[in-house]
A and B are shown apart, each in its own frame.
Chain A
Amino acid sequence: MANQSGSVYGLTILSPIKDDPNSEVSPNLALRIYLAKLPRHRGSPFAKVSSTHFARLVVMDDVVYVGMPACEEHLQSKYLVFESNFDGDLDTYLERMAAEIPETVDAVWKHCVGFPGAADVAAFKAYMKKCQIETTFFFADVNDKTVQQTLRALQTQSAVTAFIVKHQGTPPSELQAAFAHFMEKLNKAPAPAPAATLGKEFVDELP
């Protein structure tokens, strides 16, 4: 299936945006204003749906006219494009969106035609699937590691680098003891949060 590469799913959603000529702020502009203020790092709603590697939300105003001799044509609706790369299957991901970030989902998709709200999970899933476009070709460079495995690996990389620097020239018996202590601390360290500063706090506390 082209939506899947290894354990990573590539979701592409095109949701038609409402057209309301009588509103003071058009729905597509209101959506853009909301997206511009949405936190992108540790406070991002997608950090809560922690299986998300990368995600984007894009207002697509129109198709592109590339010039003569191509025909010029235009869309009748603007579309919200949701592109996400996440671990696991689509149903679980949509259920997590509805359960963990319902306010964000409602605030974004309320500008779209026919959005039923996140509270009715079955209707939300059906809506999203109706808006889904099958990915024709999906490439994931690392497609066998979850977000959490990658965050843990990046934390380990930082910690190991600091340990190596600190213990250059340490005699074997001391090195072995320090390594055992290091591994104990590393294994007990809390899992790094998505979109956070990676491992820096932890490295400062290294033995």
Chain B
Amino acid sequence: MSNINGKAYAMNAITPMKPWKTWILRLLLFIFAQAVRTSDLKKLSFIHFARWVIVPHRKFPRISSDQPKENLQYDYLIFFSNFNGTWNQYIDAFSAVLSTGLDAIWWWSEKFPGAVPVTPFKDYIALVQFETDYYYDAYPHATTNDVKAAHRVKAALDELAAPSPNMSADEFAKSYLQFLTKVQGDLGATGEPPVGT
């Protein structure tokens, strides 16, 4: 299945919006962007990369005059996500943790039922989702948490290694123990994903 590569899932979803509403959404997304580093999206920690893209009804690329002109009434909101876990886990977590934020973003889309309760929300996402034909992931065996943990281990190792040649054996053993204590939660192995994701 091309939606999945290793431990990552590629989701695409497109929803119609009345053009006057897109300006409200643009403003909201601008505000969200300012607070993203402390947001629940960040705290969820299973999304490598995600984006919302508004395509105005007159802005679908027209490359040549031979190409038929689009005649659309709606602007379209396209959501792309690269996340870890299964589709159901993802939508469940979105509904449980991010319902306020998602409501603020998708509320402007036609017939969006709200992120809670989860069943109509899942039905809506399933309706507006379209499949990925090709999906590439540079580190398919690593989740978002693996990536963050690996960077913490690398930083701690560099910190230990730099002064280590000038230490006595006992000083090194003490620093090594402190290093172990620091990274012990970040040593989980990466590898093949479980079947079913």
Contact = CB atoms under 8 A, between A and B. Distances in A.
A88 B106 CA distance: 30
A49 B15 CA distance: 32
Contacts of B189: 158, 161
Given A53-B48, A55-B136, A77-B67, A63 B151 contact: no
A158 B129 CA distance: 36
Nearest to A108: B134
A195 B30 CA distance: 33
B138 A40 contact: no
Interface in B68-104: 68-74, 76, 78, 80, 82
Contact of A139 (B14, B50, B165): B50
A168 B7 CA distance: 31
A61 B12 CA distance: 13
Interface string B1-17: 01001001010101110
Chain A interface size range: 35 or more
B190 A176 contact: no
Contacts of A19: 68
B176 interface: yes
Q: Is the interface of A mostly helix, strand, loop or mixed?
A: mixed
B23 to A, nearest CB: 11
Query: How big is the B interface, by class?
Result: 35 or more
A43 B155 CA distance: 30
Contacts, number: 275
A121 B133 CA distance: 26
A135 B133 contact: no
A5 B140 CA distance: 21
A133 B169 contact: no
Given A58-B131, A136-B26, A141-B45, A176 B164 contact: yes
Contact of B49 (A10, A57, A198): A10
A56 B134 contact: yes
B118 interface: no
B45 A150 contact: no
Nearest to B82: A54
A165 to B, nearest CB: 9
A153 B111 CA distance: 44
B138 A52 contact: yes
Nearest to A149: B151
A131 B115 CA distance: 32
Interface in B148-189: 148-151, 153-154, 157, 161, 164-165, 167, 169-170, 172-173, 176, 180, 183, 186-187, 189
Nearest to A192: B139
A30 B31 CA distance: 42
B24 interface: no
A53 B190 contact: no
Contacts of A76: 67-71
Contacts of A141: 42, 45, 47-49, 144, 147-148
Contacts of B153: 153, 156-157, 160
Contacts of B69: 76
B16 A66 contact: yes
Interface of B: 2, 5, 8, 10, 12, 14-16, 25-26, 29-30, 32-33, 36, 41-42, 45, 47-55, 59-64, 66-74, 76, 78, 80, 82, 109-111, 124, 127-128, 130-142, 144, 146-151, 153-154, 157, 161, 164-165, 167, 169-170, 172-173, 176, 180, 183, 186-187, 189-190
8 contacts: A12-B80, A16-B62, A75-B60, A75-B72, A76-B69, A136-B52, A194-B139, A198-B190
